[in-house]
A and B are shown apart, each in its own frame.
Chain A
Amino acid sequence: MAGMKGKFRWRLLIILVVLIGALIYFFPTLATLADETPSWWPKFFPQDKIHLGLDLQGGMHLILEVETAKAVESSVERIKNDLKNDLKKENIYSTYIDRVQGDKIEVVLLNPEVKEREGGFDDYLKEEYPILKEINSSQEGDRVKVLLEMDPRQIEEIKKSAVDQALETIRNRIDQFGVSEPEIARQGANRILIQLPGVDDPQRAKDLIGKTALLEFKLVDEEYSRQGALTGEIPFGDVILYQRQEDPKTGALRKIPFLIKDRTLMTGDALQDARVRFDQYNGLPYVSLSLKPVGARDFDRITAENVGKRLAIILDNNVYSAPVIKQRISGGQAVIEGSFTLDEAKDLAIVLRAGSLPAPVQILEERTVGPSLGQDSINKGIKSIIIGGILVVLFMIVYYKAAGIVADMALIMNLIIIMGVLGAFRATLTLPGIAGLVLTVGMAVDANVLIFERIREELRLGKTPLAAIDAGYSKAFLTIMDANVTTLIAALVLLQFGTGPIKGFAVTLSIGIVASMFTAIVVTRFVFDLVLSRVRVKRLSI
């Protein structure tokens, strides 16, 4: 009998540890339903609440794809420009150099001698541009056409660093935008997952995240008529870019064309800082830029060389302003003016400070849930759990009488354990996760149904209550194991595959299955043994 008591004590201890542990981890969440965690709650106890998914608390989920091919192209473009200048300097005569097929460079050399002579094109390339490989060359008359390609390893490197850099830049932007608990992660080779809880202006957040924010300073070409360029030939080395202007009264959008010299004088890389300032006369916001020392020197030189000309400030191929350079500017300060709203000016300052994206991004997936819908879902979910729970609890009592009450205790403990585990692991509860909880309520009693039916059978065979319980539990045990393991396999597969909300479902289902094995087998058995050791029961209420 002493041994028996010892066994009781151990089981009681385990059950209490699990129950109290779960309650401690569940408590902070429970407390928020009322208000804040009360002041008497010890500081060294867990404070973390169950994390709500975006579908419950509202927010935005984005999957972006970094167009890494574009990063490779612009890198090849830069190399091509360098190569063009260098070949000229080295007197390696070419008649044509350009970027073709996106990421390849075509060079037409004057004659075969230029290519093959000592110190000629081939030697120079090997020496100075080892990342370029010749993929084929063909002679056309006197000329030699050479097609160059970047080293594939180099291309991979550029792609990878483009994604890394985009991730970093976006993280910076979001940090400065001020979102609590954002999640920004790389997904696969070139995708970025972004979760922003509680964002109330999704459009603004999207603009902020996705803007390439490539800032360029270029000169306006005033030698040619803009009208002529618009209708006919664009002069060599020029492009037409537009300034968008919104009429403050009608909201109509106007596009003003500019003829711009395509050579970039300076980019956003030269920026040290960008801040919102207000015009002292009309109070309108503008963005003030301060340049790094190197940038300031460049800017000084550029303005000195071009006094009287117009300098266009271009962001993502949109002209923001094109002021006339009245004098040399030495202080390393510049401004971007436009008809900004305050938010627009703020966001522009943020993206300029955080730097430009190395390549454009595309939105592959977007899911936005408003806060009111989230709250609705929570309310409906809680209502479903309560009503479903009450119905199952009543059903078990009606069907199994006293034993049903024992099973119900196990069920309630099961729910507490699930919530505790969710709190302890800071798992995310989603709407399908709540559905998983409701489903668990229905399925968790299964183990007890199996055991109780078995006990009934044993009783019918004429066994005593104690013997029937013993046989019922031991015979049902393997069945319960087998049945639960298979459900667990399905749940774990879901966990691997699922994203966001679906993962939440798999999480609660998995925890529920494991917890139900403990509560339905260990806890109910303990209650039966405890009661039967104190009271002599002739007939089981089952």
Chain B
Amino acid sequence: MEIIKSGTKIDFMGKRTPAFLLSGALIIAGIVSLIVHGGPNYGIDFAGGTVIQVRFSQPVSPADIRESLKDVGLAGTVQRFGAEGVGEYLIRLQTTSSDLEGLSATINDVLAKRFGGETFEIRRTEMVGPKVGKDLRSKGLQAIIAALIGILIYISVRFKLRFAVGAVVALAHDVLITIGVFSLTNKEFSLPVLAALLTIVGYSLNDTIVVYDRIRENTGRMRRELFEKTVNISINETLSRTILTSCTTLIVVIVLFLMGGGVIHDFAFALLVGIVVGTYSSIFVASPLVVVWEKRFPAKQR
């Protein structure tokens, strides 16, 4: 079976201007959203705060939970978690408590008073103090930078600089758009999402390198062709593989997204966005950029 017939001659290079415009628009939309929202919607991992996951034996009204919290002076948001009718809720508080009494005990008491002690179960409590949140934020940034530098070094060693530049710009493109989509959909940016971002960096690069490898191989063979044309042929030759691998990866990520449960829902969503964007960028961003770079700063000899 073949999804992409062999010998396609799609003119990817010719479409690079609309592609660049599309990418630019997506990135700008994301950045605007980030500015409007005042930065990413950090989850408690990075912002500090408390999350409590409660399961009631029967669905209750989130407003009731919110009310009962207000009684003890706690302002928080209450959100249904998981499927409707399960009676599972996520309580988020900005407050953290470093003393031993802890918030979870307070909340347990408050809910017991309102709904009865036997009707619910606190399934998960996460409290991250502001100090730790700040630490994780800077560590997370360090991790992304470290990964990018490591990758840049590896590509510079294995390929020429113009490839490395294209690859890293494509990576930044993927990461920015994924963060932007998270901001636009108002999803929380948490530790697992950061892990997903790093995975996307690795995955998208994987795609890009396959195309680059082919470009390098073909440049040797097609000395007489225009570099631009060589690149286009290379993308076409690897197109089938690019689409296929994205398919198998997307299959499992969609399964994770639908069935993995609430705890990794956002993680799977980030991967979903990242893989689509990453596949797109290795065809429409990373390779055309090499051509643009080559035109601007032609290599003395090829």
Contact = CB atoms under 8 A, between A and B. Distances in A.
Interface of A: 55, 63, 65, 202-203, 206-207, 210-211, 362-370, 372-373, 376-377, 380-381, 383-384, 387-388, 391-392, 395-396, 398-401, 431-432, 435, 438-439, 441-443, 445-446, 449-450, 453, 456-457, 460, 475, 478-479, 482-491, 493-494, 496-498, 501-502, 505-506, 509
A487 B245 contact: no
B277 interface: no
Given A364-B131, A384-B256, A442-B253, A431 B263 contact: yes
A438 B191 contact: no
B6 to A, nearest CB: 6
A207 B195 contact: no
Given A502-B195, A505-B195, A486 B205 contact: yes
B125 A446 contact: no
Interface in B97-152: 97-100, 102, 104-105, 121-129, 131-132, 139-140, 142-143, 146-147, 150-151
Going nearest first, the 7 A-B pairs with the smallest beta carbon separation are: A490-B202, A487-B202, A442-B252, A388-B252, A442-B249, A497-B143, A373-B123
How many interface residues does chain B have, given as a range?
35 or more
A479 B242 CA distance: 13
B60 interface: no
Contacts of A438: 252-253, 255-256, 260
Dominant SS among interface residues on chain A: helix
Contacts of A479: 209-210, 213-214
B256 A211 contact: no
Interface centre among B209, B238, B253 (most CB of A within 10 A): B209
A383 B259 contact: yes
Contacts of B206: 443, 446, 483-484, 486-487
B199 A203 contact: no
A496 B143 contact: yes
A513 to B, nearest CB: 9
Contacts of B78: none
B129 A365 contact: yes
B264 A432 contact: yes
B185 interface: no
A148 B256 CA distance: 63
Given A202-B104, A502-B195, A439 B252 contact: yes
A401 B3 CA distance: 14
Interface in B242-286: 244-245, 247-253, 255-256, 259-261, 263-264, 267-268, 271
B203 A445 contact: no
11 contacts: A372-B123, A388-B255, A391-B251, A392-B251, A438-B255, A439-B256, A443-B203, A443-B245, A450-B241, A482-B209, A490-B202
Contacts of A439: 199, 249, 252-253, 256, 271
B96 to A, nearest CB: 9
Contacts of B198: 490-491, 493-494
Interface string B6-20: 100000000000000
